[in-house]
Amino acid sequence: MHKHTTAQVVVVGGGPVGMLVAAELGHHGVSTVVLEANPETVDQPKAGTLHARTVQGLARRGHLRAPQGSDAALARPSADAFHFAGMPGLVITAPGTEPSPIVGRSQADLERDFEHRARARGVTVLRGHRVTELAPGPDTVEVTAEGPDGVRQFTAEYVIGTDGARSTVREQLGFAAETHAATVSALLGVVRLADPYRVPSGWNRTPRGWTIAGVNPYGHSRFFTIDFRGPHPDRHSPLTLAELRAEAERILGHPVPMTDPVFFSRFNDFARVVSDYRKGRVLLAGDSAHVHFPVGGQGLNLGLQDALNLTWKLALTIKGTAGKDLLDTYDTERRPVARRVVDNTRAQLALMRPDPGLDPLRELFTGLLGVSAANDHLANMISAQDTAYPPRTSDGSSWEGQFLPNLPLTTDEGPTDVIRLLQPGRPVLLLLGADQEAHRKQAEGWSHVLRTVRAGSSRQLPWDAVLIRPDGYLAWASDGGPLAGTLREWFGEP
């Protein structure tokens, strides 16, 4: 007999995005089951860079430490060096009140951390379970999975596909997508370089392609090649040490002896963004919804930001405290962000092509990276700090949809800040000005959803009240229309 389980949400795929979705839903008290094919977390050299907006979002949800220090130290922006299209000179900055703009965390480490939090919050994580069939209905979705003990059936109110670029959820439900065909072939190996001092460290372009190497003279090195002559005819054929070595020697023009491989991967620049992140009661997040060439380290960040956008909306929808069509804003907000990432990775790859005719363009970009305004524009794009969401109300504030930087605040309970106010996971009505009572009265009918906080700030602010979403973006500011109308739009009737 097939074992049957009922849950409010089934998450298909337990990578870092799926586990963050589960941890957040567990925090909101949503009964959740994660189905993951791998029996344990796989330590592979995948993404390891968390960019500023992801770091800021995770801090607001309590997954990363918030900054601490003196007022003088927090007043100074923090900065980290990065690259654009392999060219050095990009500097990513963040306000001093925020965590560092770049945080190094391996994908496997994040997956373990989020899984631990999910389990602690009551989420059921079933590893070694591969989904084989989904049957959406008007009120539920039926899911079939094969596990160590045989076939199991699950009934869920919603299913979230976070099962990667080869998503079973996306394929079975026929999500339409906009795609860009592959044009390059890239190889990755974790190997021992027998002559490490002859291999250029970091990003290196030759007339025949690129190598990207994290050279370790005393152990295994992470070594990439990018071939711009076209995609490999068989994307899924196993990569061998001989092929990686031959490609390295072709690009660098001299012998590159390597031994003792522990990991191989073959990939390309195929890109895809699904046409809608939602089909009824089934939603996609992370690589299930979008894939692109991994230049700039944006893919993992894009998926984690999907999770932070989706989970509070889905939790409110399940609890019946969401405004009309709130769940649809997940697609309208996140899909344009993914398309922009696809576009900027394609632009970076175009700049990386080893055609000498592009040298003047590269020199132009190198110069632009030294111009403060241009550097800020590209840095904010790569780090997603320029992400803003479209307003939901016609008479909204110009601040609606913007991310609220972390503000030091003083309340009746003592000093705090925006990061700490959002860690409980509820939307916050922050009252700062003289007209606090009028705003508070308008919000009384939504006290079951909303947290209202009276506070003072030492900074000059352009409004006396703001409504902050759980993901840190503004839903309303006092220079917009009536607060009650916005609360109704987001959280339903009072």
Hey, do 3-177+272-382 and 185-268 end up sharing a CATH topology, with the first three levels equal?
Answer: no
In 370-472, where does DSSP find H-type helix? 372-382, 418-422, 436-442
Q: So where are the chain's domains?
A: 3-177+272-382, 185-268, 408-491
Pick the CATH number of 408-491 from 3.40.30.120, 3.10.180.10, 3.40.47.10, 3.40.50.410: 3.40.30.120
| Domain 185-268 CATH class label | alpha beta
- Per-residue confidence (pLDDT) for residue 70, from 0 to 100: 46
The answer to whether residues 354 and 207 touch, using CB atoms and an 8 Å cutoff, is: yes
> What does the alpha-carbon distance between residue 432 and residue 466 come to, in Å, rounded to a whole number?
8
Beta strand extents in 65-170 (DSSP E only): 78-84, 87-94, 103-104, 124-127, 130-136, 141-147, 150-161
pTM of the model: 0.96
- Per-residue confidence (pLDDT) for residue 456, from 0 to 100: 85
- Per-residue confidence (pLDDT) for residue 358, from 0 to 100: 96
6 three-class SS: strand
Instruction: Classify domain 3-177+272-382 at the CATH topology level.
Output: FAD/NAD(P)-binding domain (3.50.50)
How far apart, in Å, are the Cα atoms of 158 and each of 7, 139, 305, 317, 490?
9, 9, 19, 10, 20
Contacts of 430 (CB under 8 A, 6+ apart): 409, 418, 421, 453, 455, 465, 466, 467, 468
Q: Mean pLDDT in each 10-residue stretch from start to end of the chain (494 residues)?
A: 87 98 98 97 87 97 78 72 96 95 94 98 98 97 96 98 97 98 97 96 96 95 97 92 98 97 95 98 98 95 98 98 96 98 97 96 96 97 97 86 94 92 97 85 95 87 94 95 93 94
Question: Which of these, 327, 291, 262, 282, lies nearest to 490 by C-alpha position?
Answer: 327
> What does the alpha-carbon distance between residue 240 and residue 157 come to, in Å, rounded to a whole number?
45
